[in-house]
Structure 1
């Protein structure tokens, strides 16, 4: 046996090492095989699978702290990996610390996905420190973590000096209005960020105002997503004001924000003038003015109550004057004094009845008018459809908006007709999403007829309540006639 030689990595033929590497998954190669010795590192660097490795996807593949540390060590010297996906791994602040340290001087990695990893304020601070030194990262996804407003302060400070990050996703981090303020201050200085996702962050109307004010001075942000942030109609008005002046903002998602009729009209008026916005998402926004009608009726009732109180006071003074006159005649009419209280009571009863009848008559016109205004509104128009009419009229004057999302807004048949009239004339809109509304078969037919001669729309998302035997035939005929309309997705809600 003395003639047998020992096998080691230092003497093992390269082809044999390649065969061993063929049997290993990529995470094992990155985290375990690398950095064993210089020769193995050199062999791995020449290994074909490693050379073409530009993306590592470990999405929802739980890795331990030690594995995260080994992966981070591999990143320090890696020059091939461009995208690293570690979403839903719960690596926490400690795992982020390893990655951030490794990426401080890494210039190869351009995309990092860390969604749903229980990253808190401390982890955000580690990432912020990395961003102040890193010159390669372009996209950073941090959605559904626990960064909050204090963590955002660290990231905002980094954005003031970072010169490479272009896409930042902070969806679902509860940054609030204070976090929005920190980001707004950073946006006034940042000259690189083009996409910012702030969905579900509770920024409210005040946070929206901070961001809107910042964007008046920002010339790089192209896309902003503030869906589900309770910004209200005031928030919509702030961003409508921004879009009257911003030369760069081209995509705005402001869905599920309760912007109502006043917010929608502000955005619609903006669209009459704006020449840069090409995508607008206003889905799920309760865009009707039905609330305004209720408020009008309520205001009428309030005014009627005030008038009634004034009439009561006036009647009371009149009765007091009558009583005073009566008391003044007591001395001269002593003989009829026993009858006076009875007469007075009778007069009071009569007067009270007269007052009641008078007040009812006085209030009736006001109540009838308020009721008539509300009832007439209900009979002649659906409030949501009226909002769509306003938007459609504005888009008749717009030649740049190409994508419009208005799902889940209770749009009915009349609203669909307004959109159909728009599609007959508009030559800019290419994508229209209407799912989640209450469009009837008549509304669908109006849209189909409008699209027969429309040569610009290429995608329509549609959901309707009723279906007829002829409707599938009509849709097939439409697709046959309109060759540009490549995609119609329909869903029957019955």
Structure 2
């Protein structure tokens, strides 16, 4: 019988193992090549690709709960990965539990993206436990999950003790007013969260009041996204109260909230007194000429707002005239979005007249209005003039 040569994977030369690793995915290396034996751990740890693996992007990987379990095990002692992207991977509460357990021990991951998975309130509960102990994670994305109001309560409990997280995305999570009550309460005490996305969460005027109560005491939040909710005019009134007292919020997105002319008036009152807010998005809010007049009055006295989005509203020629009056006195606005309104050439002429005396506006969006290209060109001449003045 001819001599047989027994070759074991565990005795292969290091360089040959490196070449094998060259043909493996990042997921395989992290999940399957470590924790096999001490020798393999040593080899993988010295492998250049593993040493420089800082972003692990497994988007659309469909790894599910079982894959999340393997991943969590591989990352438990990992010291290179700082960003983990698991967008659309069909990970449910069980998989979230494994990842959350790892977060309590991992010392390098700062960004966790779980957008569009299947996390429910139990998954949020496990993340709460991780947030209580983790001191490294700064960004948590849970967009498009289903944590609901109970899950919002769990995460709020976690934030009560967390001193690291600066960005939390909860867009489209069925949170509602009840869930926002818990988030608003934690905003009173949290001192690190700077960016919060609560868009498309069925938040009404009651929820807006809860947020307003928290914002009046909060000294950390910089950006708040409430797009595609049901804030309406009463909710805008509550938020207006918060803007009068808050001293940190610079970016507020109220896109598609049906605030109408009455809501615009409440926000205008706040703009008169707020010296901090620099970006306000009121796109798609059924604001007409009356509401535009109110906002223009606010612009006369405001000393901070740099970007105002009034696109997809109901602003006509009279509203454009009111904006013109506001622009003549405003000295901070640099970008104004008016796309898809009802401004005709007459309204465009009003805007041109106002911009003659304005030296700060450098961008204006006018697409899908009822004015001619010549009218748009006349307006753009003034914004281009302002651009040249700034550069000179």
TM over 0.5: yes
Q: Which residue of 2 aligns with 1:432?
A: 364
Aligned mates of 1:82, 1:168 — CA distance in 2 = 21
Conserved 8 A contact 1:192-1:220: yes
Aligned mates of 2:387, 2:36 — CA distance in 1 = 59
Give the one of 341, 345, 352 matched to 1:409.
341
Q: Which residue of 2 aligns with 1:393?
A: 325
User: Which whole-Å deviations, capped at 9, do the CAs of 1:214-250 have from their partners, x for residues lacking one?
Assistant: 2322211110101111122222122212222222211
Aligned mates of 1:401, 1:241 — CA distance in 2 = 17
Conserved 8 A contact 1:193-1:221: yes
Q: Report deviation, 1:413.
A: 0.9
Q: Report deviation, 1:152.
A: 2.7
- Asked if residue 28 in structure 1 is aligned to residue 56 in structure 2, the reply is no
Give the one of 441, 450, 456 matched to 2:387.
456
Q: Report deviation, 1:277.
A: 0.9
User: Are residues 217 and 60 of structure 1, via their aligned partners in 2, closer, same or farther at CA, if it must alter by over 3 Å?
Assistant: farther
- From the CA coordinates, give the structure whose radius of gyration is larger: 1
- Asked if residue 231 in structure 1 is aligned to residue 259 in structure 2, the reply is yes
Q: Report deviation, 1:93.
A: 4.7
* Structure 2 counterpart SS, 1:404: strand
User: Which whole-Å deviations, capped at 9, do the CAs of 1:15-34 have from their partners, x for residues lacking one?
Assistant: 44433332222233344445
Q: Which residue of 1 aligns with 2:115?
A: none
Aligned mates of 1:425, 1:411 — CA distance in 2 = 20
Structure 1 stretches lacking a partner, 5+ long: 288-383, 458-481, 485-494
Aligned mates of 1:45, 1:199 — CA distance in 2 = 45
Q: Report deviation, 1:94.
A: 4.7
User: Which whole-Å deviations, capped at 9, do the CAs of 1:425-450 have from their partners, x for residues lacking one?
Assistant: 32211221111212114413433554
User: Which whole-Å deviations, capped at 9, do the CAs of 1:397-445 have from their partners, x for residues lacking one?
Assistant: 1111111111111111112222223333322112211112121144134
* Structure 2 counterpart SS, 1:425: coil
Conserved 8 A contact 1:96-1:119: no
User: Are residues 122 and 86 of structure 1, via their aligned partners in 2, closer, same or farther at CA, if it must alter by over 3 Å?
Assistant: farther
Q: Which residue of 2 aligns with 1:7?
A: 8
- Asked if residue 163 in structure 1 is aligned to residue 191 in structure 2, the reply is yes
Of Structure 1 and Structure 2, which has the larger fraction of its residues in helix?
Answer: 1
Structure 2 stretches lacking a partner, 5+ long: 104-129
Conserved 8 A contact 2:360-2:386: no
Give the one of 217, 230, 236 matched to 1:202.
230
Q: Which residue of 2 aligns with 1:56?
A: 56
Greater Cα shift, 159-168 or 200-209: 159-168
Aligned mates of 1:130, 1:31 — CA distance in 2 = 28
- Asked if residue 247 in structure 1 is aligned to residue 178 in structure 2, the reply is no
Conserved 8 A contact 1:196-1:225: yes
Aligned mates of 2:159, 2:6 — CA distance in 1 = 51
Conserved 8 A contact 2:64-2:92: no
Q: How does 1:270-349 map to 2 (within 5 A)?
A: 270-287=298-315
Q: Which residue of 2 aligns with 1:91?
A: 91
Conserved 8 A contact 1:93-1:119: no
Aligned mates of 1:155, 1:274 — CA distance in 2 = 29
Q: How does 1:92-171 map to 2 (within 5 A)?
A: 92-103=92-103, 104=130, 105-171=133-199
Aligned mates of 2:274, 2:100 — CA distance in 1 = 34
User: Are residues 152 and 243 of structure 1, via their aligned partners in 2, closer, same or farther at CA, if it must alter by over 3 Å?
Assistant: same
Aligned mates of 1:126, 1:19 — CA distance in 2 = 46
Greater Cα shift, 128-137 or 159-168: 128-137
User: Are residues 425 and 176 of structure 1, via their aligned partners in 2, closer, same or farther at CA, if it must alter by over 3 Å?
Assistant: same
Paired positions, count: 362
Conserved 8 A contact 1:92-1:117: no
Q: How does 1:175-214 map to 2 (within 5 A)?
A: 175-214=203-242
Give the one of 351, 354, 363 matched to 1:419.
351
User: Are residues 216 and 447 of structure 1, via their aligned partners in 2, closer, same or farther at CA, if it must alter by over 3 Å?
Assistant: closer
Aligned mates of 1:132, 1:38 — CA distance in 2 = 40
Root-mean-square deviation (CA, aligned residues, Å) is 3.1
- Asked if residue 67 in structure 1 is aligned to residue 95 in structure 2, the reply is no
User: Are residues 34 and 267 of structure 1, via their aligned partners in 2, closer, same or farther at CA, if it must alter by over 3 Å?
Assistant: farther
User: Which whole-Å deviations, capped at 9, do the CAs of 1:198-227 have from their partners, x for residues lacking one?
Assistant: 101112222222222223222111101011
Conserved 8 A contact 1:92-1:119: no
Q: How does 1:365-404 map to 2 (within 5 A)?
A: 384-404=316-336
Conserved 8 A contact 1:147-1:175: yes
Conserved 8 A contact 1:83-1:110: no
Aligned mates of 1:441, 1:403 — CA distance in 2 = 20
